[in-house]
Structure 1
Amino acid sequence: MSEQLSPGYIIRRGSLLERSLLLKFMQRTYQDLFPNEDFSHLEQTVKQYFSSNTPLWWVEEEGEQGSREAGEQGSNKESFSFVPLSPIACLWVGNAIDQVHGYRHAHIFILYVVPEHRRRGIGTALMRYVENWAIQRGDRQIGLQVFQSNKPALNLYNQLGYQTQSIWMVKFLSTEK
């Protein structure tokens, strides 16, 4: 079942059968940011974390989603076959535990809009969609991580009222002795 996300776009809940499509979108997301890297390890991430407890939504262009087929001969019944359109955006959400207060909250694993559909309000609409979803299930906050170099995403999240709560720091270790 799908619903309108914003003018010209619909959102539908993904299924566990769409694991390979999710992986494709994840690889494309990271490839946009780091074009010279290999992201084959993301398959393990999807395998480990994608479940019925981590909802996935797809955004598609609004339009004819299927074709009408002839009904049973001699009856007025019509049957419809729906062929999904190619998604132009995805949103995958998991759960996290607030380390200060201890309550569960939504955590955005990935929000990705293909480049040719950016700057049309899809990212904003997806963020509002997931915020409403999280409120309905009783969450008090939503968390996400964003690369410091991803200025468009940082701008979006700042405009929507997201604030930096912590800084994730890493140190790369030498394995040579």
Structure 2
Amino acid sequence: MKRTYEDIFPNQDFSHLLQTVEQYLSNDTPLWWVNFVGEEVGDFPSPIACLWMGNAINQITGLRHAHLFLLYVLPEHRRRGVGKALIQYAETWAKKRGDQQIGLQVFTNNLPALNLYNQLGFQTQSLWMIKLIDK
């Protein structure tokens, strides 16, 4: 998760992300890793991508649905279909659970992610807006 944010917002402190993971990672929010065969770190395969899914509530219908917390592919492995394959895997997982949609949040300056999600049929349903306020 930290690498994802560091790619988009360099020079930021992301120490708070550990709290997010501790709060939301559970048996109901699976995390899948993609390992690159042949590359190892110590005795373990070297992960090149991950996908973390969770739960959300559709604010219109009130139904639970799958929510994509995190999709990350190492830069040197991007544009090879890894992210697309992970999203397709997530769709299969969500369908088996009975979910009717997958939601996600994406930063407006993350053009590669926006392009991928648009190609896979995701559509903007709402905009998350913020206003910075003085202390």
Q: Do the structures match in fold with TM over 0.5?
A: yes
Matching residue of 1:173:
133
Which position in structure 2 is the counterpart of 1:37? 12
**Aligned equivalents of 1:61, 1:132: Cα separation in 2:** 22
Give the TM-score, by structure 1 length: 0.72
Q: CA shift at 1:120, angstroms? A: 0.6
Are the equivalent residues in 1 in contact too, given 2:39–2:46 (CA < 8 A)?
no
Distance 2:63 2:72 in 1: 27
Q: CA RMSD in A?
A: 1.4
**Aligned to 1:117, which of 60, 77, 94?**
77
How many residue pairs were aligned?
133
Report the equivalent of 1:103: 63
TM-score normalised by structure 2 residue count: 0.94
Matched-pair identity in %? 68
Residue ranges of structure 2 left out of the alignment (5+ in a row): none
Number of the residue aligned with 2:87 = 127
Query: Secondary structure of 2:65's match?
Result: strand
CA contact (8 A) 2:94 2:102 kept: yes
Matched to 1:40, the amino acid is: S
Among 68, 90, 95, the alignment partner of 2:50 is 90
**Take 1:136 and 1:61, find their aligned partners in 2: how far apart are those partners?**
27
Alpha-carbon separation, structure 1, partners of 2:131 and 2:39: 50
Q: Give the 3 Å change call, closer, same or farther, for CA 64–40 of structure 1 in structure 2.
A: closer
Q: State the structure with more CA Rg.
A: 1
Structure 1 runs (4+) deviating above 2 angstroms are 62-65
